Structure 1
């Protein structure tokens, strides 16, 4: 069974009127290679005639984003041609690659009607060989994500990428990143094996679970050592977690705002390319 290295509490980092907790990076953890960044927006309730999410057009290069919509919706648009509205239970996976501009805002319907909102966005690094790959966007509604049930239905694993048991996730990962969201009823449990050389990503969104013998409550990122291969989880109350794993890239990480590269010079180049319009021009 893997040893828990440390448990990191997400910090409050509101953005305008958007309730936000940042789990990565914080003062206690920089990143868990190749998992770079996690913002947990909400939970909160928006009133009618609200402004919605504040993420207007902005550029990215050198990494990928995976967004989980638990409540509410996101209207996505990017300069690579991606455009849709994903609702509760769905996900969005964007490979920024060599660069694009995108916006993530609420739909007109949500802004008019309001309602509950909870969204998580996770950033994965891209290895140097894929930093300048062609951008790509995939949006999936809840129905497009396969679910594996465990423990007589007390555990539901929503498989996004990689595999779980014999079920393949619908989104192919360039870097063999396995990601799922897991819904657990109180008392529900599961065990899984992750090879020791792979880094585990484990974040408790809601509830509280016992993982490898230690309690982890909501808003907690659990960091594991690479000294075993078994992960065992039991829900102490109804819970929701993000769970994934990947081989670390062991490459330099230089992050500046919306760009993640391997050197300062590549960051400067990214800013130049953006200013020169090489990541596309925005037509909102």
Structure 2
């Protein structure tokens, strides 16, 4: 882990050091530990945002770390057909292969550093599954699925897909080369990631070498979250300890600070962190299973539309 990397980060464009006295470091408000569970047909997940007040998450709704798991032959699992309405799903596959399909004919295959960005909008049916070859052979599976809310004005827009290949992400380095930064969506210090978002956000996967520190300029109108995929370290000027499966919630300010411990876990050479920021929507949110709307009446309508087939039908080949 991870699939997208470079031998020498010093060859990459560098992120500038936040201006001292101007970009105030964000304090750490909380560190939470993700509970483990199972999703879909039974693949293991960690619920990254469990226990975090929504005022600190907005516009993000939930995030699952899928795996990391080494499947034996016959074990890889996915999800059955299911509906979505009112938000965007972001599936970032660090290792392995997943096939996406929907009732509108969209989808594709993502693997090893690819991201599939699905705007559910007015609604569709959707399935995610490993390819038959991976089911037969087994193999490593590891990724993230993030849900990003849509404002009321966009909730009923037409669905769309973005396939972001691993080679398209913007690769950056910290000034000393101690951190490799993959900008998947949004902007960091003037460098733009490939993901096009309706709700302004930034999504970064950072690999931080043992003992290294990264201080990133961060938009003051965004919130700030750091989820540890692997390894251990600390966050903020407080040096609050964090480790695999934990989320740090940052307060207000103009920069984020993350450090990797000198000694990492035996199964990972570096600290792996996903950094998220977004401009809060600050609208009422009504959430029921795969539907995220603004009111209970809209949720009821979404359920009725699904049950009556107005969100689409499963293609004949899969029915």
Aligned mates of 1:39, 1:66 — CA distance in 2: 10
Q: In structure 2, the residue corresponding to 1:19 is in which secondary structure?
A: strand
What is the deviation of 1:260? Answer: 0.3
2:278 aligns with one of 242, 246, 253: 246
Is the contact made by 2:188 and 2:218 (CA closer than 8 Å) also made in structure 1? no
Aligned mates of 1:208, 1:276 — CA distance in 2: 48
Aligned mates of 2:79, 2:27 — CA distance in 1: 38
What is the deviation of 1:40? Answer: 1.2
What is the deviation of 1:165? Answer: 2.5
**How big is each residue's C-alpha offset from its partner over 1:47-84, in whole Å with a ceiling of 9 and x where there is no partner?**
1133x223121000001111111121110001232221
1:115 aligns with one of 127, 139, 164: 139
Name whichever of 162-171 and 10-19 sits farther off. 10-19
What is the deviation of 1:201? Answer: 2.4
Is the contact made by 1:154 and 1:184 (CA closer than 8 Å) also made in structure 2? yes
More strand, by proportion: 1
**How big is each residue's C-alpha offset from its partner over 1:148-169, in whole Å with a ceiling of 9 and x where there is no partner?**
1224433111111111223211
Aligned mates of 1:175, 1:35 — CA distance in 2: 10
The TM-score, its normalising length taken from structure 2, stands at 0.84
Is the contact made by 2:59 and 2:199 (CA closer than 8 Å) also made in structure 1? no
Aligned mates of 2:275, 2:192 — CA distance in 1: 15
Q: Does 1:57 align with 2:89?
A: no
Q: In structure 2, the residue corresponding to 1:153 is in which secondary structure?
A: coil
Q: In structure 2, the residue corresponding to 1:197 is in which secondary structure?
A: coil
1:109-258 to 2 correspondence within 5 Å?
A: 109-212=133-236, 213-226=239-252, 228-236=253-261, 237=264, 238-258=270-290
Is the contact made by 1:64 and 1:123 (CA closer than 8 Å) also made in structure 2? yes
Aligned mates of 1:257, 1:137 — CA distance in 2: 21
Q: In structure 2, the residue corresponding to 1:13 is in which secondary structure?
A: strand
2:72 aligns with one of 47, 55, 75: 47
Q: Does 1:80 align with 2:112?
A: no
Aligned mates of 2:132, 2:178 — CA distance in 1: 36
Name whichever of 190-199 and 1-10 sits farther off. 190-199
Is the contact made by 1:53 and 1:104 (CA closer than 8 Å) also made in structure 2? no
Is the contact made by 2:283 and 2:294 (CA closer than 8 Å) also made in structure 1? yes
What is the deviation of 1:4? Answer: 0.8
1:9-28 to 2 correspondence within 5 Å?
A: 9-15=33-39, 17-24=42-49, 26-28=50-52
Q: Hey, what does 2:16 align to over in structure 1?
A: none
1:34 aligns with one of 44, 59, 65: 59
Q: In structure 2, the residue corresponding to 1:14 is in which secondary structure?
A: strand
Aligned residues: 281
Name whichever of 95-104 and 140-149 sits farther off. 140-149
Q: Hey, what does 2:6 align to over in structure 1?
A: none
2:117 aligns with one of 70, 89, 93: 93
Quick check: which has more Rg, 1 or 2? Answer: 2
Aligned mates of 1:113, 1:183 — CA distance in 2: 29
